[in-house]
C-alpha cells in the first residue's frame, strides 16, 4: 500500500523534484563532495557572477535601504555637531572608482588572458577565473557606482545638508563593498596563476559547478526518455491507448506543438498535468471504442519533450495517431512544460573539463620533457581519483555505484567511457 501511494506521489511531483532528489541522495551526501564544497563567501561570489544583473539590482536596493535607515537615525545626531556639505569626498570616491574600473580591471584581465592564451584547457580555466574572481559583477558594480557618483557631484550643491550627508554615507558604503570585491579579485588572480592552487581551484570548480549542472542535465535526459519506465507517467487503460516515451519506433500522423521560443532550455515538467491528460484521453477513447467500435490498436500516444530548443521556437511535445485529441488534453500538455533562456552558469561538462589535465601531457611529449610528463600524469591520476570519490554512492540495492558510469542518453557514452577514450589517445 505504501509503495502504491509513493508511486502515486511520484506522478504528482514535477520532474525537477526527481532530478534534485537523485543528487540529494547521492552526490550531496558524499563525504568527499562535502569536503570540497565552496565556502559561503565563494558560493556568494559565484552566484553574483552567474546573475550579476539580478544581484546588482539587489545591491542598489540595499543601498536605498541604508539611505532610508540613515535618514531615520540622522535626527539623533547631537545638535552641537554640524553637518555640512562636502563634495570632496564624492570626488575622491569617483577618482578611485574610475581608476579601478577603467585601468586596473582591464589591465589585470588582459594580462591573465595573455598568460593563459596558449595554456591547455584555457576555456575551463578562464570560466573558473570569471566565476571565482567575480570580475563581471565587480566591474558592473564599479561602473554603476562611477555613473551615480558623477551625477551626485553635479547635483550635490542643490541638496540639503542632511540629504548630502545621507548620500555620502550610502555611496561610501557602496565604494567599500566594491573595494572588497577588488581585493577578492586580486587574491583569486594570484591564486589562479599559481600552478598548485590552480589545480585545487579547477577541481573545486568541477565539483561545485560542473558536477551539479552536468549531472542534472544527464539525469533529466534519462528520465525524459524513460518517463513510463521509471513510473513517472502511467496509463491505466493500456488496452485502449498505447503510450510510450524516448525513442520513436512507430509512425505518428499528428502532433501537439508548443511555442517555447528560440535557444531555450527545459526548466521543468509538471508530470501531474501529463498524467491527467493521459487519463482523460484514455477514458474518452474507451467510451468511443465501446460506442463506435474504433480499433484500440491504432490509438498511439508518444511523449517526446525536448530538453532544449534551437533556431525553431516551436517544439513537439507529443505525437499521436488513431484518434483526435481532446481540447482539454491538448491544453494540459501545452501547459505542462516550462522553458527558460539558456543558463549563464557554465557550458563546460565533466568530459570537457578533463582537457585541462590531458592537454599538458601532449605538450610535454612534444617538448620531450620527461619530468613534466611524469608530473602531468600524476596530476591527471590525482584528478581522476578525486572525481571518482566525489561521484561515488550506494544504490538502492546497497551496492557501490558511480555517476561516472551514467550514459549520455540512449546512444551516448558514459563519462567513464569518454575518459577511457581520452586516456587511450594519450597512450597512442
What SS3 state is found at 236?
coil
Average pLDDT over residues 290-318: 78
Whether the pLDDT of residue 338 is over 70: the answer is yes
pLDDT one-digit tens code per residue, 260-299: 888 888 999 999 999 999 999 988 888 876 545 555 567 8
pLDDT one-digit tens code per residue, 61-87: 999 999 999 888 877 666 555 566 677
Whether the pLDDT of residue 247 is over 70: the answer is no
Whether the pLDDT of residue 333 is over 90: the answer is yes
Average pLDDT over residues 311-315: 83
pLDDT grade for 244, boundaries at 50, 70 and 90: confident
Whether the pLDDT of residue 344 is over 60: the answer is no
Q: Are 237 and 66 in contact (CB under 8 A)?
A: no
- The alpha-helical segments, DSSP class H, found in 211-337 are 211-225, 271-292, 327-334
Average pLDDT over residues 346-369: 79
More confident residue, 20 or 80: 20
Count how many Cα atoms sit within 13 Å of the Cα of residue 32 in the half-sphere of its side chain: 16
Beta bridge partners of 245: 303
What is the spatial distance between Cα 198 and Cα 214, in angstroms, rounded to a whole number? Answer: 22
Average pLDDT over residues 40-49: 89
Amino acid at each position: 500500500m505504501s509503495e502504491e501511494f509513493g508511486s502515486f506521489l511520484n506522478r504528482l511531483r514535477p520532474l525537477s523534484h526527481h532530478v534534485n532528489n537523485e543528487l540529494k541522495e547521492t552526490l550531496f551526501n558524499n563525504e568527499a563532495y562535502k569536503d570540497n564544497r565552496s565556502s559561503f563567501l565563494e558560493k556568494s561570489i559565484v552566484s553574483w557572477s552567474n546573475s550579476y544583473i539580478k544581484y546588482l539590482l539587489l545591491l542598489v536596493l540595499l543601498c536605498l535601504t541604508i539611505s532610508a535607515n540613515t535618514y531615520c537615525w540622522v535626527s539623533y545626531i547631537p545638535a552641537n555637531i554640524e553637518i555640512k556639505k562636502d563634495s570632496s569626498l564624492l570626488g575622491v570616491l569617483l577618482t578611485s572608482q574610475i581608476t579601478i574600473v577603467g585601468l586596473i580591471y582591464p589591465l589585470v584581465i588582459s594580462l591573465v588572458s595573455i598568460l593563459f592564451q596558449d595554456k591547455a584547457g584555457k576555456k575551463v580555466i578562464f570560466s573558473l577565473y570569471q566565476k571565482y574572481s567575480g570580475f563581471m559583477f565587480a566591474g558592473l558594480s564599479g561602473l554603476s557606482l562611477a555613473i551615480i557618483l558623477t551625477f551626485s557631484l553635479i547635483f550635490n550643491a542643490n541638496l540639503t545638508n542632511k540629504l548630502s550627508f545621507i548620500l555620502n554615507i550610502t555611496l561610501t558604503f557602496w565604494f567599500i563593498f566594491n573595494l572588497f570585491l577588488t581585493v577578492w579579485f586580486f587574491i583569486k588572480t594570484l591564486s589562479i596563476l599559481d600552478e598548485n592552487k590552480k589545480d585545487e581551484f579547477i577541481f573545486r570548480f568541477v565539483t561545485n559547478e560542473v558536477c551539479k549542472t552536468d549531472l542534472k542535465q544527464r539525469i533529466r535526459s534519462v528520465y525524459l526518455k524513460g518517463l513510463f519506465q521509471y513510473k513517472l507517467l502511467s496509463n491505466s487503460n493500456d488496452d485502449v491507448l498505447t503510450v510510450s516515451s524516448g525513442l520513436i519506433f512507430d509512425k505518428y500522423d499528428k502532433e501537439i506543438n508548443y511555442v517555447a521560443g528560440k535557444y531555450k532550455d527545459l526548466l521543468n515538467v509538471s508530470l501531474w498535468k501529463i498524467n491527467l491528460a493521459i487519463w482523460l484521453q484514455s477514458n474518452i477513447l474507451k467510451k468511443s471504442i465501446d460506442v463506435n467500435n474504433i480499433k484500440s490498436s491504432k490509438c498511439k500516444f508518444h511523449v517526446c519533450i525536448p530538453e532544449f530548443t534551437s533556431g525553431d521556437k516551436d517544439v513537439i511535445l507529443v505525437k499521436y495517431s488513431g484518434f483526435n485529441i481532446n481540447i482539454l488534453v491538448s491544453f494540459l500538455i501545452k501547459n505542462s512544460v516550462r522553458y527558460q533562456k539558456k543558463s549563464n552558469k557554465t557550458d563546460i561538462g565533466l568530459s570537457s573539463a578533463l582537457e585541462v589535465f590531458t592537454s599538458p601531457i601532449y605538450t610535454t611529449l612534444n617538448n620531450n620533457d620527461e619530468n613534466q610528463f611524469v608530473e602531468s600524469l600524476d596530476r591527471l591520476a590525482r584528478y581522476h581519483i578525486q572525481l571518482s570519490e566525489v561521484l561515488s554512492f550506494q544504490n538502492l540495492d546497497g551496492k557501490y555505484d558511480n555517476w561516472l558510469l551514467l550514459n549520455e542518453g540512449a546512444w551516448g557514452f558514459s563519462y567513464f567511457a569518454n575518459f577511457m577514450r581520452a586516456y587511450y589517445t594519450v597512450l597512442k
